[in-house]
Amino acid sequence: MRSGTGARSAAFRDAPIRPSPSDSPGGVSGDASPLHTPRASLDRLKLILSSAMAVSFESLKRAVLDAERDPSLDTAQAAISLVRQWLATHEPELGAQAVPVPTEFNGTMMQWFHWYGDADGQHWRRLKEAAPELAKAGITGLWLPPATKGGSIWDVGYGIYDLFDLGEFDQKGSVATKYGTRAELEETVAACHAVGIQIYADAVFNHKMWADDHEDYRATPYDPANRNRPLEGEQPIRAWTQFRFDKRKGLYSTMQWHWYHFDAVDHNKFRDNYNAIWKTQGANFEGNVDLEKGNYDYLMGCDLNINHPEVRGELKYWGRWMHDTLKVDGFRLDAIKHISSDFFLDWINDLDQHAQHSHFVVGEYWTYDLGSLSWYAANSGGRMHLFDAPLHNNFHIASRSGGNYDMRRLLDGTLMQAMPLLAVTLVDNHDTQPLQSLESVVEAWFKPLAYAFILLRDQGYPCIFHADYYGAHYKGRKSEDGPEIEIWMPSHRFLIDRFLLARTHCSYGPQYDYLDHFNTIGWTRLGTPGHPRALAVLMSDGPAGSKWMEVGKRHTTFRDLTGHIRAPITTNGDGWAEWRCPGGSVSVWVEEAVLPEMGVTLPV
């Protein structure tokens, strides 16, 4: 399938996982058991689903709204069930929308930046040079950092100032962004497209920062810990809310932003030391957002009023402009838990209609709660992929458990398990890396296991983190007055490249799961007519492990592509073998005959 739609092989999309023969060692585990929901609730869900199984994405959203109005249903559990069953029913239609001709294609995304990358303006140039080797390695899509102008040359891009300055105008102290100039960006995108790599732009729609001037207007202060509780009555405030973009002089867009384009700020020059969220006169906090703090519409800066028609129109126009200007293939949407999901359904429809084709879109809704993610997926009509934050968290916990994590539960509560067609799987990212606000690092020893898990299984669209691939070295503080800390993140490029080889050559067809041991788990891929090579993966977070698993290839010799185990393994007359892996590590077993195709020579 096209990158961004998951890794499932079209030829075997509907092939069932066959239970292992009763007289053969090993077994197949799965996650097909239904949710434990009261009988009346299940019957009610079936009635709702019967009206939701139209091809249109909007039908899923209507089904969830029906469930929300039904007091007999738990909304979170209903959302999980509805999304799972809707995706299963509409998988053929979704696949046909992603690519008109069924194909076997294992797409792999890479996040090509981290928070502490060099602010030398050379990022785009480095990517242009790296594009051919990335394509050769098996990378098919790149998530770029926000290319728009922020507050300074050091801004990672999330302190957004001007959406229409891609490093072209002398604003906020420089022409270039942290990553380079617009001309360099255009050259880089073209270079990536030339080698078959898709480009996903990072869209920051939640807020604006670094205003050009302040304005006086009226607003009501709300409790930052409970956005449903006003602290005082409406009153005059002075806040930095005017964005003129003087140096751009109306090129590309003539819109200037004022206080009425924002629904809230967190500063008032009349009361500098007063801690409050100031809700703009006549505006409301948005609905269909995360319910943390009562209503988590407001996050930072000048919070965009998505309900204002000029704001909605400008953001739609920017999406069309980015498509026309850079020919991007998709978008990563920042901080979507703080923005009404209704808006994104409208925005994606507008973009696709303008381009006359669908775009890959993934949203960052960072929560470990599967119910919340399922609700958002349903309320956005299934049009948006979501990062599998719960899977990342399972990796994080497992890596901190010293071999005492139950590896049989690694998939529990994850998008990879519940809605794989919408899951973008990851190990770490710029928010979870050391010193960041959401720091939840997957320890280095466990990262090879985690990357094998996201790259070599059938479910999900995997995303590799720049700092895990290239390594990273930087210094920073956890707080403004805290001590400076030096961070070293090792490169896992050798093993990730080996996993990518296995993903490209061998990770196709039916998947047999053996997730049945506290420490040692594995799975096999049986191949397809187009990609007939088989694969066996075994990993352990504890002692060295072994497990009987079937690959469907009789009397065939396999080698460990990682090089961790040098001795070959040959399957028996039934296509089974006892596979092995080192302790606290992973082994990826591929047919010996495929090694020349991969260009790999393994020591004996």
Which residues are known catalytic residues? 334, 364
Q: How many CA atoms lie within 13 A of 210 on its CB side?
A: 17
Please state whether 309 falls in left (phi above 0), alpha (psi between -120 and 50) or beta. alpha
* 3 state DSSP class of 389: helix
Report the distance separating Cα 232 and Cα 402, nearest Å: 51
357 class by beta-carbon count within 10 Å (0-12 exposed, 13-18 middle, 19+ buried): exposed
Find the helix packing angle between 75-98 and 370-379, rounded to 10°: 50
Find, among 222, 219, 241, 243, the residue nearest to 231 by Cα.
Answer: 222
Please answer whether residues 255 and 243 qualify as being in contact, where contact means their C-beta atoms are separated by less than 8 angstroms: no
Find, among 265, 337, 270, the residue nearest to 305 by Cα.
Answer: 265
- Which residues touch 22 (CB under 8 Å, ≥6 apart)? none
Report the distance separating Cα 414 and Cα 417, nearest Å: 5
Strands 576-581 and 545-550: antiparallel
Alpha helices in 296-441 (DSSP H): 309-326, 341-355, 370-379, 389-399, 415-418
* Residue labelled with tokens 């041991």: 517
* 3 state DSSP class of 208: strand
- Which residues touch 368 (CB under 8 Å, ≥6 apart)? 389, 390, 393, 413
Alpha helices in 12-52 (DSSP H): 39-50
